[in-house]
Amino acid sequence: MDSNQQADVNDFLNYLSQERRMSVHTVTNYRRDLKSFILFCADNKLLQWTEIKSNHIRQFIVGLHSQGLSGKSIQRCLSAIRSFYRFLMKEGLAENNPAQAVQAPKSEKRLPATLDVDQMSALLDNTKQNNMLACRDRAIMELFYSSGLRLAELASLNLRDIDFSDKLVFVTGKGNKSRVVPIGRKAMDALNVWLEWRDKLAFFEQTALFITKQGRRLGIRSIQKRLNHWGKQQAISDKVHPHRLRHAFASHMLEASGDLRAVQELLGHTDISTTQIYTHVDFQHLANVYDRAHPRAKKK
């Protein structure tokens, strides 16, 4: 492996982490993908970035496909190389982007496993708010389903991110992009119950919205475990995890409204094709789509 190439990759990964503020998960994936690409370059004696042409990238992609790598993983790898070359061009280390014209094999887009409205109601309504953990977990699940948040988004929420008067949550999503999402009535009720318990814990200097009994911010793994616990309690088939609740939010909103653009905005998807895995509908404009459509936001 050429040391200069590895140094350039390290500079790129630092740029993603420190300047672009990308998640640790994304940076880790890019590091793995680019390590594979550098090994390919070394095997083919391509030691300068300017020596690499589109046909080399295609050869690399074909090799990944022959190894049985999924279309989605190959697309991510190609995206990493494109982003890397954009960085090299910005730094004056490359004149063009040989990966730009290369297409990855298309992967089938399938609707993720989700829960229907009755299953969601059973999960949420049967989580009794009779102790601190149950109240906290109920608020977490209600907020996931109410507002379609990603796991990392919910885990990073602070008290100040909730607008209790206007019933809104201010979210920082992928790529450090911000959005504002409504919170449904039942989720607001659950949050208020949780905050009463949170006040009793008396960790007033802690800014995190969801905390442990010891006053620490509730972590991603703990949230996953708690949702799985409640799924087992309610005897729900398959594992209940945060992304299933996000999927349920998206699917139920689309079923009720048919407004793909609105759901795209609520989910924080940059590309509407990502939202289209949930359904195939004609675009419509519906005023106040959230309040009218979401099964747990409708007024009594």
Instruction: Mark whether 78 and 134 lie in a shared domain.
Output: no
Question: Residue 294 carries which DSSP code?
Answer: -
pLDDT at 284 over 50: no
Q: Is residue 221 part of a domain?
A: yes
Q: Which residues contact 79 (CB under 8 A, 6 or more apart)?
A: none
**Is position 112 within any domain?**
no
Pick from 50, 35, 31: nearest CA to 91: 50
* 285 — pLDDT class (breaks 50, 70, 90): very low
Percent of the chain with pLDDT over 70: 88
pLDDT, the chain, mean: 85
- Which CATH number does the domain housing residue 57 bear? 1.10.150
Q: Are 144 and 212 in contact (CB under 8 A)?
A: no
Range from 169-178, 182-191, 279-288 carrying the lowest mean pLDDT? 279-288
- Which stretch of DSSP H or E encloses residue 171? strand 168-172
At residue 263, the pLDDT reads 81
What is the C-alpha to C-alpha distance for residues 244 and 75, in angstroms, rounded to an integer? 23
SS3 123: helix
Question: Tens digit of pLDDT for each residue in 44-82?
Answer: 999 899 999 999 999 998 888 888 788 888 888 999 999
Nearest to 268 by CA among 169, 135, 121: 169
Q: Which residues are catalytic?
A: 150, 174, 243, 246, 269, 278
Listed residues 90, 106, 135: the one ending a domain:
90
- 234 part of a folded domain: yes
Q: Structurally, how many domains does the chain consist of?
A: 2
Give Cβ neighbours of residue 177 (< 8 Å, ≥ 6 apart). 268, 270
Looking at 90, 107, 142, the residue that finishes a domain is 90
Task: List Cβ neighbours of 203 (8 Å cut-off, separation of 6 or more).
Answer: 211, 215
Mean pLDDT, residues 180-192 taken together: 95
Which SS3 state, helix, strand or coil, does residue 168 take? strand
252 vs 196 pLDDT, higher one: 196
Residue 200 lies in a domain: yes
Q: How far is CA 128 from the centre of its chain?
A: 28
Domain boundary among 73, 90, 107: 90
Q: Residue 59's domain spans which residues?
A: 3-90
- Range 110-131 burial, b when 16+ CB lie within 10 A, else e: eeeebbeeebbeebbeebebee
Alpha carbons 230 and 273: distance in angstroms, whole number:
32
> Which residues, in sequence order, are CB contacts of 225 under 8 Å at separation 6+?
none
pTM beyond 0.75, yes or no = no
In a domain, 108, yes or no: no
Q: What is the pLDDT of residues 83-124, one digit of tens each?
A: 999 999 999 999 999 998 888 766 655 555 678 888 888 889
Asked if residue 272 is part of any domain, the answer here is yes
Q: Which helix (H) or strand (E) element contains residue 68?
A: none
Flag whether 107 is in a domain.
Answer: no
**pLDDT surpassing 80 at residue 288:** no
- CA angle, 21 as apex, 20 and 24 as ends, to 5°? 125
CB 258 within 8 A of CB 282: yes
The CATH number given to whatever domain includes residue 264 is 1.10.443.10
- Structure tokens that stand for 299 in this block: 């007024």
